[in-house]
Chains A and B, each alone.
Chain A
Amino acid sequence: MIDHLPILQVIVPLLGAPLCLIVRSPRAVGLFALLTSTITFLVSCLLLQQVLLHGTIAYELGGWAAPWGIEYRIDYLNSYLLLLVSAMGAIVLVASQTSIDRELPRSRHMLFYTAYLLCLTGLLGILCTGDAFNVFVFLEISALSSYTLIALGNDRRALTASYQYLIMGTIGATFIIIGVGLMYMMTGTLNMYDLAQRLPEVHNSKTVLSAIGFFIVGVCLKLALFPLHLWLPNAYAFAPSIATAFLAATSTKVAVYVLIRFIFSVVGPEFANTVLPLQEIFVVLGISGIFATSISAIYQLNIKRLFAYSSVAQIGYMILALAIGTPLGLTATLLHLFNHALMKAALFLAIGAVVYRVGSSQLSHFAGLGRQMPWTMAALVAGGLSLIGVPLTVGFVSKWYLVLALLENGWWPLTVLVLFSSLLAVIYVWRIVEWVYFASPRIFIEEVKDPPLSQLVPIYVLVFANFYFGIDTSLTVGVSKRAAEALFGGIFL
């Protein structure tokens, strides 16, 4: 059983998804999906434990030996992210049990949960696999199911948002297979470990260069790097709140993982930098993305959209840290990956609770909610503080490492810019605070109160995690550091 953990990680939600269609009953299907994702979460816990004990796990799918068959490789990096994604998947589903009633007709619940579990499958698959083409397949599984999730939104604009995402996402995915195909052409292998061995032999060819280019552009579309982020704000704004919380916490993170895996484990950071001015590109796009999207966030009238823009800005931080190109920088990226998932999940679930009670995520509908939904709003503020990077929250930990990594390279001006940009976060978070606590409540919404416990508990679990991992960083920093060092050792352990 323990030997088969890597595949169980993927197969459990994959089998769960069609079973949702059989269960049908809205109440039962929710619980069933929750059960499935909880099992997935337990599997990822075991997997992390195994990796910490025994090091990298290589699993041959169907018993086919590595370069020919598909291989799953679990090392520090992906076991850490598997834990994150499956934990988010489970926690968000606890909240969805009640929250979804308000946003989706009961007849569509099973569709929602099917798509949700498929999306989870896709994301976990991307993390597990060590095969380049398999990455594409899982990427598309998660992408197709997230288009569906988004299209289930209540507003008709959800449909156009989903369509937009579909077009952009498909182009991105096609770019990725072009890249993979070109690499296969030059090396004759799809296994990432094998690719890493064979690519150096053909480093000089233009084909490899274009393969890297195509792959990176494709992934950057998927991870919504500025200026390829245009699909994201609407998609997050109009999707059902639960879907937004899940996607914001996981999907772009996994795309960042793909980028890291590709640059560090397959191509090798030195080579990627010599053939392409990756560092310059990422620094420029990262920092301009942080500013452009943070400023856009300030002007949003819809809170979901506001935080969607903020998500793009946070991706800018991750990419910027990645561009530093030192183990410390990579540690900062990985830390922020984890920490940002915690913040955004907490924030979007809190917003989901407001949608549940008030029926809208317009900023103006938050007027005076500080009195009517004190617990939810306190969670929203706590998440916001974490986003700003107040000490004792996770946001501070990632900011600390990012700044430290920037200083280590002597990039003073960028350090100042990064710190300055967190003030933009203060502005957009405080806009919400002022609406929530200073505006008078809207008259025609009566009997607004905190959501049921099934939503409040997951929100507070996440808020607690935001503080816990801001104070006791041994797990996050420890694993991030080990993963970063392993990646820099050039070893795909």
Chain B
Amino acid sequence: MNIIGLYNYWIVVVLMMIGFYVVIAHENLIKKLVGVSIFQTSVFFFYISMGKISGATPPILDDHYQLYSNPLPHVLILTAIVVGIATTALGLALVVRIQEAYGSIEEHEIQDQDTQDQMESRLEAYGFRKKHVLSVQNLDE
């Protein structure tokens, strides 16, 4: 098997695993997003290298060249990059809001606070009043 010749795929796989590992292993929400980005980027590489043919040029018609790379995967991946950016942007925006709401972006700290919220609502279920209720009017201002 031509291991060296397929180096582009090896890069893709390694990047993908790194990204995936970061998403799973890290507590920090920003780092998780970084992981997701790396994960997505590996796929971009995959598509781009897939369209490349050794010795070929970009598909600009010219008499000197016979061999062209396949432009379609590259075009596709432009779309995917846009989607990726949108995802990252949205994710970051969420992290900012989470930071505002919880005062932390560490997953376990957020979970602790959520558990507390849950306990409160459970207590409320048995007749205790909540201390403060987030109201729509407050948000409006």
Contact = CB atoms under 8 A, between A and B. Distances in A.
A binds B: yes
Interface of A: 102-108, 133, 136-137, 140, 144, 147-148, 151, 154-157, 159-160, 162-163, 166-167, 170-171, 173-174, 177-178, 181, 184-185, 190, 301-302, 359, 362-364, 444
Contacts of B36: 167, 170-171
Contact of A163 (B20, B43, B83, B94): B94
Contact of B134 (A154, A163, A362): A154
Given A159-B97, A181-B73, A301-B122, A104 B136 contact: yes
A364 B127 CA distance: 9
Contacts of B50: 181, 184-185
A151 B101 CA distance: 12
B32 A167 contact: yes
B134 A167 contact: no
Interface of B: 20, 23, 29, 32-33, 36, 39-40, 43, 46-47, 50, 73, 76, 79-80, 83, 86-87, 90-91, 94-95, 97-98, 101-102, 110, 114, 117, 121-122, 124-126, 129, 133-134, 136-137, 139-140
A108 B20 CA distance: 34
23 contacts: A105-B137, A105-B140, A106-B140, A108-B139, A133-B79, A140-B83, A147-B90, A154-B134, A156-B101, A156-B102, A159-B101, A163-B29, A163-B95, A166-B94, A167-B33, A170-B40, A170-B91, A174-B39, A178-B43, A181-B46, A184-B50, A185-B50, A362-B124
A107 B80 CA distance: 32
Nearest to B130: A360
Interface of A is mostly: helix
Contacts of A171: 20, 23, 36, 39
A160 B114 contact: yes
A137 B124 CA distance: 43
A160 B43 contact: no
Contacts of A159: 94, 97-98, 101
Nearest to B47: A181
Contacts of A133: 76, 79
B46 A178 contact: yes
Contact of B94 (A137, A162, A177): A162
